[in-house]
Structure 1
Amino acid sequence: MQAPVIVMNTNVEREVGRKAQVSNITAAKTVADVVRTCLGPRSMLKMLLDPMGGVVLTNDGNAILREVEVAHPAAKSMIELSRTQDEEVGDGTTSVIILAGEMLAQALPYLEQNIHPIVIISAFKKALDDAIGIINDISKPLDVENQDEMLNLVKGSIGTKFASRWSDLMCKLALDAVKTVFKDDDGKREIDIKRYARVEKVPGGEIEDSKVLDGVMLNKDVTHPNMRRRIENPRIVLLDCPLEYKKGESQTAAEIMDENHWNRLLQIEEEQVKEMCDAIISVKPDLVFTEKGVSDLAQHFLSKANISAIRRVRKTDNNRIARAVGATIVNRLDDLKEEDVGTGCGLFSIEKIGDEYFTFLTKCKNPKACTILLRGPSKDILNEIERNLQDAMNVSRNVFFNPSLAPGGGATEIAISVKLAENSKKIVGIEQWPYKAVAEAMEVIPRTLIQNCGGNPIKVLTELRAKHATGNHTWGIDGEAGTVIDMSDYGIWEPNAVKVQTIKTAIESACLLLRVDDIVSGVSKKKSEGASAPAPDAEGPELDEKPEQ
């Protein structure tokens, strides 16, 4: 395959220098304005329509930007920010976009005054280092074992979301789930909530019926009606191989001349399946899970031996079961040994919820994997609650790794803003102004919180600055009433890791976009004959991502 060759064409539309920077800043501000109303407890919801006609209702910044389609490269880069933030710390996806948009907006006047972008970037980097130091100074340590403190912290992340009215229940679910999958081996701390804490959404029932199971739940039923559907302290075997007759690997043809040959073929098939079942029966299990199929003949042999079988289990579910019951997944039946059998489960049962059957493996001695069962009136509501629950679990997880808290409600941002404004007076030269711009940009978070609940931004921010100037670092905004309040009384704290990551991502991405001084589009707009070329819109030229080969 020949490598794509990019030929610079004089007709190709380009945006150079100032024009490119202004275009990028406009695009970034547009993306930030989309999610600006989604910050804080009084945030608005966005209704997103996908091409298939589906509807998503959410105020989660990451979920919104995942669904939005944009053409401008700078806007694409902004959308990538929320994804990065979500993968890294799982919270603060809306804040990072708003902050990055504001950083770029604050840089625009300096670009217009012909201050070189590199000078602005250098000042931003200085401000970033100072800001991280300020966050660490105003953070307080947290006792991870203190249940009340942990619940208060997780409430802070859910308080701004749709699920806030069930915040006590959701926080408890998130904390229980994270504690279940928390593993500390030889000083290596691991909390893999994506893999080992699965959320199962079952429409119907009430949200209050949601719970964390001390084990695993699957949307499966036993393969044969005579198999047991409730077993206490079952011995469990997990397989990754089919319990079916193994046919020839390549194209195999068998010519049958008479009836005896045909009977012999059937007999061989039966012998092979019986041999497989005997290998399983030899370790005396009560329950067999396999990721592949189970033939009718195998079902018959297993049912006769009083063993229940469940087939076509997902790979991820099988891994979760292995962790919960202490079993080892076996790839070949010849390798099955006594120590591969899982005995850590207290109860296996199959229950019918709505129209479907669900398998429960509960009362596990040391689960290390869990399922969160969510009940609710409709799929849309369950999807939104799941998104909120993921945020809450991420916050709990971050605190286990870095047990230190910064005040929420815009208090940390204002503290940084006031301190940076003070520091800027000591800087000599032109860098003083972009450095001060970071201080002003930081105010966007508390200002947006006030605007979203209908407060007066100028009056409240002035009052808040006055509090911080006298060293009261824990004062922030009450997102419900739009007034100034002490966060240590109000109990809104956020993990230090989330705050640091938000500011790092926002400032570094702003620096990245300021470095761009040329946008070259691979696609020239076809000029109609006689007509002048259309001026590029505010969105900027579209990028053709896949060059022709």
Structure 2
Amino acid sequence: MQYPVMVMNTNMEREQGRKAQISNIQAAKVIADIIRTCLGPRAMLKMLLDPMGGIVMTNDGNAILREVEVAHPAAKSMIELSRTQDEEVGDGTTSVIILAGEVLSSALPFIERNIHPITIIAAYKKALENALLIMKDISIEVDIHNKEEMMRIIKSTIGTKFVSRWSDLMCGLAYDAVKCVNKELDGKREVDIKRYARVEKIPGGEIDESRVLDGVMVNKDVTHPKMRRRIENPRIILLDCPLEYKKGESQTNVEVTDEAHWSRLLEIEEEQIKELCDHIIRLKPDLVFTEKGVSDLAQHFLMKHNITAIRRARKTDNHRISRATGATIVNRAEDLKESDVGTGCGLFEVRKIGDEYFTFLEKCEDPKACTILLRGPSKDVLQEIDRNLQDAMCVARNVMFEPRLCPGGGATEMALAVRLAEQAKTISGVEQWPYKAVAEALEVIPRTLVQNCGGNAIKTLTQLRAKHVSAENFSWGIDGESGKIVDMHEYGVWEPHAVKAQTIKTAIESACLLLRVDDIVSGLARKDAGSAPPNMEDAPQEGER
């Protein structure tokens, strides 16, 4: 008996792969279309309802996509891009999604013409390499110590955001905060804005009252009402241990049969706490911060020596205080030394703002940590200002790491599009067309900027393309307010090279990744136990072939 030979139908497989690729491209396009109107200074806001019933109004691409719920795996992958971009460089979250969606869409005609995805990917990778070289060529160097120049760069980031009305104030806050936490260690520059530049949002007051403190502020009050609330040039001790009597380990039982024993137990507790406090008192500090609790007895001993105590400080706040005042965080009071005491703070004061008490440590000599105090009319406004400020600080940080700038307003993308289209003519074979498609896809950024401010996209882009034909005009882009073409050198809109490079890298590489997918299979088990997986039900059993 002869077994029938199973012939694999390559056409069916190709059809299946094409179906998955087209599905991925459509999903990516839908995500890009959601936030397309959020690009540029005339960007529209999205109103989001979060699961708790709260409302968020923002035009920040990353904040919008964080709240969007999607089921399609390719759409989830696109949302992940925005998060990656935000963590890596902190800006360009909207651009990266729009660009990735457009690059993927440009692959659709080639897939329909049966050009293999690997060929398309090879052309995309080549275009990416050349784009990064061209971008280096059209970027200019910047002096990071020139405050005016840095302010202009940060202003171009905030110009498209909600806080653009207070752009001078916000740019100043971002620049001062980043400059404050900028530290060089062993020849390496460290600018950790997440850990050491904390934003404190206090509703009430005017937005103009926002400022960067030359020190740290924490939402705490002193533990005892008679403790001092204002100390000039305080000596500060930071602890990571409780100032309470030591409790026994788990399941400790004490059986007291005599009243004298009970009194002795209480005496031992008191002796323990007195010994703890004596270790602190011998260094004559004015101020003690601890991450744990402070018992009433410890407060009594410290107050007798005119020492102010603040308890249950956050670990992150303790680290910031340590950086700002020069104090060392100590785990055991017994190990305290004179070198652990911080003397870099000029003024300690507890102030009441609204209904709450806040501890200010100000006038620090060389604070390498700071608090940005934001005031505003409501929580919603403060949250949006905070998001915009984070973007501005990330831009300042990126420029400090890599002091190179590219022209903004879609000028870089148009320059890349024109030069890549020229280079496409030198490529032979099928790869020429996908390569050229990347050049056309890059035009989506200036086109979206024109559309978002109600301009004539076709007419304006034709004028811009004509300008960029001459290599010297690489800095011409779109004025996001009026939709006209302007020279970014004179207009003063620049973007960090790191942000631009990361945007194009992320967009093209993610498009390549999604194009390599030729099937989408659910890995979820079926609910009715015992049944075969969906793809296996009709498969021939062993011995049937």
Both proteins in one fold, TM over 0.5: yes
Task: Select between 261-270 and 220-229 the one with higher mean Cα deviation.
Answer: 261-270
Task: Select between 234-243 and 465-474 the one with higher mean Cα deviation.
Answer: 465-474
Quote the residue 2:5 is aligned against: none
CA deviations on 1:509-544 (whole Å, 9 max, x unpaired) are 0000000001111358999xxxxx9xxxxxxxxxxx
C-alpha distance in 2, partners of 1:522/1:242? Answer: 49
C-alpha distance in 1, partners of 2:379/2:222? Answer: 27
Alignment of 1:57-136 (within 5 A): 57-136=57-136
C-alpha distance in 1, partners of 2:219/2:250? Answer: 35
Q: Secondary structure at the match of 2:427?
A: coil
Quote the residue 1:507 is aligned against: 508
Q: Where does the alignment leave 5 or more consecutive residues of structure 1 unmatched?
A: 1-13, 528-532, 534-549
CA deviations on 1:427-459 (whole Å, 9 max, x unpaired) are 111101000000000000000000000000000
Alignment of 1:230-245 (within 5 A): 230-245=230-245
Q: Secondary structure at the match of 1:284?
A: coil
Quote the residue 1:383 is aligned against: 383
**CA positional deviation for 1:267:** 1.0
Query: What letter matches 2:421 in structure 1?
Result: A
C-alpha distance in 2, partners of 1:402/1:57? Answer: 33
C-alpha distance in 1, partners of 2:405/2:523? Answer: 47
C-alpha distance in 2, partners of 1:164/1:206? Answer: 16
Q: Where does the alignment leave 5 or more consecutive residues of structure 2 unmatched?
A: 1-13, 529-533, 535-545
C-alpha distance in 2, partners of 1:296/1:158? Answer: 49
CA deviations on 1:306-331 (whole Å, 9 max, x unpaired) are 00000000000000000100011000
Alignment of 1:30-69 (within 5 A): 30-69=30-69
C-alpha distance in 2, partners of 1:522/1:504? Answer: 30
Alignment of 1:32-431 (within 5 A): 32-431=32-431
C-alpha distance in 2, partners of 1:406/1:465? Answer: 18
Q: Is 1:517 paired with 2:518?
A: yes
Task: Select between 518-527 and 129-138 the one with higher mean Cα deviation.
Answer: 518-527
Question: Does the aligned pair in 2 maintain the 1:15–1:518 contact within 8 Å?
Answer: no
C-alpha distance in 2, partners of 1:514/1:524? Answer: 26
Question: Does the aligned pair in 2 maintain the 1:15–1:519 contact within 8 Å?
Answer: no
Quote the residue 1:10 is aligned against: none
RMSD: 1.4
Question: Does the aligned pair in 2 maintain the 1:453–1:480 contact within 8 Å?
Answer: yes
Query: What letter matches 1:398 in structure 2?
Result: N
Q: Secondary structure at the match of 2:430?
A: coil
Question: Does the aligned pair in 2 maintain the 1:286–1:308 contact within 8 Å?
Answer: yes
Q: Secondary structure at the match of 1:438?
A: helix
C-alpha distance in 1, partners of 2:53/2:300? Answer: 46
Quote the residue 1:482 is aligned against: 483
Query: What letter matches 1:451 in structure 2?
Result: Q
Query: How many pairs are equivalent?
Result: 515
Query: What letter matches 2:511 in structure 1?
Result: A
Query: What letter matches 1:428 in structure 2?
Result: S
**CA positional deviation for 1:185:** 2.0
Quote the residue 1:6 is aligned against: none
Larger RCO (CA within 8 A; separation ≥ 6): 1
C-alpha distance in 1, partners of 2:184/2:252? Answer: 51
Quote the residue 1:497 is aligned against: 498
Query: What letter matches 1:521 in structure 2?
Result: S
C-alpha distance in 2, partners of 1:329/1:508? Answer: 44
Question: Does the aligned pair in 2 maintain the 1:154–1:395 contact within 8 Å?
Answer: yes
Change (3 A) 1:22 1:525: farther
C-alpha distance in 1, partners of 2:196/2:255? Answer: 50
